[in-house]
Chains A and B, each alone.
Chain A
């Protein structure tokens, strides 16, 4: 993960001609002139004097670093980003002294500066590629490696390790260090989810700053002095908040590892799929790391509009159910194994015979926008009652939202439920009890947990159920349709703030299971006779055209970071 999204200000000019506007200034990076804003967002997003590192970023020059992180306060301790620089010489009149050719005379600073913390000034020249700078980087890298265990073959970070990357650029193939290395604690359980190897640690303090300044839990600190420095928790205290695993992501080396992920898979084998965390209404952007149909980890994907660079431990670890052995994998008709063709044929027949007012739909707000919209089409067709089921939990101050449905807003905007989710459920129950509703479609919820007794469900003419895991309702289904986890399908969610965000299939669903949008598109087409696109982007665009809240959106236009709609 390299430094933030600064791409909005690339103002690279040719050799200086017009004066820079007052809110900007001109600097040169390795001879190339760039115009940079005087201030740029600091780690909290507040304007702060633009730093050398940000200016280099704008110039397209990468400055290597370990301790700097765009979303953490600057520490300046790794010294990897040291650069050389010069400033225009000023005469006694405070005016720049010019060279014979009219260019300002530059005085090179005798001392280097850390690019992460040093503000730029007008006319400054930054040099990142001189022999001196390369020697400093090589020096820092050598220092970092002398006491490092060099255990890449058994280190989980291998493949995404900044020490490895910079060693390739600035390292030596042989070490001249012949002394005994400093030995420090290994495999320390800092908390229930974090394992710490102090020997690999380069003491960049990213983890300390993250938990202190982002989470507000001052749980980590440093013991001892000098080369013996060791990260630790306070005696008797565990590093245990809902965000601890982010320290594994931001640890530039293999010092902090996830107890869940360590030793499970080499990272270079992982396929990374852009997705959305489905564990609450925040909709943190994530990457799903998978290999050969198996998910190994979720990691946060930076999105300043939603989750910055972080995600919570609860959401991150909430993926194991996807590989549960009791996943629904077979299409069942009256409990007997069948095929999609057969089930589709029979369901279409039954639904065509259903009269308006006798059908009700319960759709989970864990379904995608497209799936909810398809169910809303059926609702319209049958003038059916419909609702979703609220799912509440405890929220926290950072990312975890009390609404544990990932797509409550989608259910509202597509018309599946009212603002107060679940308010129609009693009416559906009542009409089932009265026998008015004879056909019930249940997508992703267990109705027996919401007042629909098994006896009652058995009295229905038709009970169509789709889910991913078995429950009391799936056991009673006339037609049981095995569905997909969000990681197994593509689609979009609308988060609690109204951000419409895409997710993509990382792995295939097990057995005969299919993405719900696929079966629903087929069902809706056959029941209503309306033609529908057979691929997801087309389906999204059709939905956007039909649903007022989504008007103007396109699948392609959502991009990787999503688009906000008013809610």
Chain B
């Protein structure tokens, strides 16, 4: 039986658990921080001596922890890229700009267990010799920002933050910075620009890799809220132990935001790769299935920018194992284990861990029109393909959904969507806005073509009717227009 595995949300959902420091301390809070900060230097067999900081970084690398923001990049590698020889300060930013539609995991931590985030963050800062860090929180989390401010105050008052933390001589200050309501601020270089007080235009890479030229042109680490919480658990249990949770290369737990047409939407924590998409949707421990009489139509597996799966889709998994051998395997989409690598191999991604379930009560044309409207609104407009393409696609879809479409709109959408992603834009937003269009139009093409055909037929009938009435009211004039029209198109029945 699949079940939740609570690591990060272990206490958060317990009755009576409050976000204040006293409660956190009662549950063993900040013990790990003390442990991490006071690690004794370790001498390796080859004579090298590892400082406390280096030991934590080693453990994080060993844990196999992958970023929980969406890209799933190895956290230990990201830390290794940091330019530590530049002589400039290293900054750490907690990306709390959770704004991928369908995602509501980081807010669980922020609202219910803020000190867990702070503890993980302080450890991450310590491990990377960071003395100034920021929490960039999305503007809509007004209460979340207040909770974090309060938590920071408490931590400061108890010597977990500020000068000489826990008497170890380590100094760290953390500030909360609220965004002003833009999805693009979740993109790490856009976030950095925003934090610098500028328009959040993502930076070009090269040369502006945050690990080298980040905040104020200094080396900068940007980690997601959930990622930073995991740091605490890695330090507490050790990287090797952490890596035993989940599956190889997909270690630890994941917070899954399950929403849409399921009976029990909510945020569930699972062992990565130990639960399938089907179990997440249908198992009573998770989504509990669809509502009475509804059929599954589509699954968006990792936030709206992820490529959609069609119910009943057979997915070919092409994977290269750790031994270098390639395996090919076909599975039903519901049998895909929910982890990073499987979903990428299946042509989509687990992204921010947001699963949106769509049943047969809605039209995929309207689903996609909604998604595209979001991206058209959130495109920052810096680079051409995304700026113009996202709005163009949204306009076509809006027209199609409003019954003003054409049969060719489906092909136009695919062609436009092909001109945006894959490195044609400065940041991943170009991919994010075109992947849903590419996948939805491809996999549900009949719905799009039918919508267009319906509208074409209706317009043709209207033209014929008005031409006929015009001919009737002006005797002697041949009804040229009416006869010139093609015969009405048979309307395929929409799903």
| A226/B204 in contact, CB under 8 A | no
Contact present for B388 and A111 (CB under 8 Å): no
Measured between beta carbons, the chain A residues less than 8 angstroms from B204 are: 74-76, 114, 117
Which residues from chain B contact A112 at a C-beta distance below 8 Å? 422-424
Question: B38 near A: Cβ within 8 Å?
Answer: no
> Are B384 and A77 in contact, CB atoms less than 8 angstroms apart?
yes
For B385, the chain A residues whose CB sits under 8 A away are: 79, 139-140, 143
Q: Contact check, B412 vs A176: say whether CB atoms are below 8 A apart.
A: yes
Q: Which of chain B's residues 364-383 have a Cβ closer than 8 Å to chain A?
A: 376-383
Provided the pairs A77-B426, A227-B379 are in contact, do residues A146 and B392 lie with their beta carbons within 8 angstroms? yes
Q: Determine whether the beta carbon of B419 is less than 8 Å from that of A222.
A: no
Q: Judging by beta carbons under 8 Å apart, are A179 and B419 in contact?
A: no
Cβ contact within 8 Å between B419 and A226: no
- Return the contact of A226 from the options B206, B378, B396 (Cβ within 8 A): B378
A117 touches B207 (CB 8 A): yes
Decide if A77 touches B391 in the complex (CB within 8 Å).
no
Question: Number of B interface residues, CB 8 Å?
Answer: 32
Q: Which residues of chain A from 118 to 134 have a CB within 8 Å of any chain B CB?
A: 118-119
Q: How far is the CB of B50 from chain A (nearest CB, A)?
A: 27
| A75 cross-chain contacts in B, Cβ below 8 A | 204
Does A99 touch B at the CB level, under 8 Å?
A: no
Which chain B residues lie closer than 8 Å to A180 at the CB level? Answer: 395
Chain B residues whose CB sits within 8 angstroms of the CB of A80 once the complex forms: 384
Q: Which residues of B contact A78 (CB under 8 A)?
A: 383-384
In angstroms, Cα B423 to Cα A226, docked, is 18
Is the beta-carbon distance between B384 and A227 smaller than 8 angstroms? Answer: no
The verdict on A225 contacting B388 (CB below 8 Å), with A111-B422, A118-B206, A142-B419 known, is no
Smallest CB separation, B134 vs chain A (Å):
23
Contact partners of B425 in chain A: CB under 8 A: 79
Query: Which chain A residues lie closer than 8 Å to B259 at the CB level?
Result: none
B423 adjacent to A203 (CB under 8 Å): no
Q: Are B423 and A111 in contact (CB under 8 A)?
A: yes
A226 near B391 (CB under 8 angstroms)? yes
Give A146 to B395 CA distance when docked, in angstroms: 12
Would you call A202 and B391 a contact (CB within 8 A)?
A: no
| Residue interface mask B20-32, A partner, CB < 8 A = 1 | 0000000000000
Interface centre among B182, B388, B395 (most CB of A within 10 A): B388
Once the chains bind, are B378 and A225 in contact (CB under 8 Å)? yes
B424 and A226 contact, CB distance less than 8 A: no
Asked if A303 CB lies within 8 Å of chain B CBs, one says: no
Question: Given that A111-B422, A227-B391 are known contacts, is A222 also in contact with B383, CB under 8 Å in the complex?
Answer: no
B392 adjacent to A224 (CB under 8 Å) = no
Which B residues are in CB contact (< 8 Å) with A147?
388
Q: How far is the CA of A192 from the CA of B199 in the complex (A)?
A: 27
A76 & B383 in contact (Cβ 8 Å cutoff)? yes
Q: How many chain A residues touch the partner (CB < 8 A)?
A: 40
B6 in contact (CB, < 8 A)? no
Report the bound CA distance from A136 to B388 in whole Å.
14
What is the 8 Å Cβ interface bit string for chain B, positions 165-207, against chain A (1 contact, 0 not)?
Answer: 0000000000000000010000000000000000101001011
A268 within 8 A of B: no
A225 to B412: give the CA distance in the assembly, Å. 24
Contacts A226-B391, A227-B387; A76 near B376 (Cβ below 8 A): no
Known: A222-B381, A225-B381. A146 touches B424 (CB 8 A): no
Tell which of B380, B383, B390, B423 touches A113, judged by Cβ atoms closer than 8 Å: B423
Q: Are B426 and A226 in contact (CB under 8 A)?
A: no
CA distance A82 to B384 in the complex (A): 12
With contacts A77-B383, A79-B383 known, is A144 near B423, CB below 8 A? no
Which residues from chain A contact B376 at a C-beta distance below 8 Å? 226-227
- Cβ-defined contact, B422 with A143, below 8 A: no
Give the residue name and chain of the A residue nearest to B421 (CB): A111
Distance of A121 Cα from B206 Cα, bound (Å)? 13
The complex places the Cα of A367 from the Cα of B269 at a distance, in Å, of 84
Q: A74-B204, A77-B426 are in contact. Are A229 and B381 (CB under 8 A)?
A: yes
Check A228 for interface membership: any CB of B closer than 8 A.
Answer: yes
Cβ distance A240 to chain B, nearest Cβ, rounded Å: 23
What is the CA–CA distance of A82 and B204 in the complex, to the nearest angstrom?
Answer: 13
User: Does residue A422 face the partner (Cβ distance < 8 Å to B)?
Assistant: no
Chain B, residue nearest A179 (CB): B395
Interface mask (B384-413 → A, CB under 8 Å = 1, otherwise 0): 110111111001100100000000000010
Question: Can you list 11 contacts pairing A with B, beta carbon distance less than 8 Å?
Answer: A74-B204, A75-B204, A76-B383, A77-B384, A80-B384, A117-B204, A135-B419, A144-B384, A224-B381, A225-B381, A226-B380
Add 4 more A-B contacts to A146-B388, A229-B387 (CB < 8 A).
Answer: A77-B201, A112-B423, A114-B204, A225-B381
Q: Please list the residues of chain B having a beta carbon within 8 angstroms of any beta carbon in chain A.
A: 182, 199, 201, 204, 206-207, 376-385, 387-392, 395-396, 399, 412, 419, 422-426
**Which residues of A come within 8 Å of B, CB atoms?**
74-80, 82, 110-114, 117-119, 135-136, 139-140, 142-144, 146-147, 176-177, 179-180, 182, 202-203, 221-222, 224-229
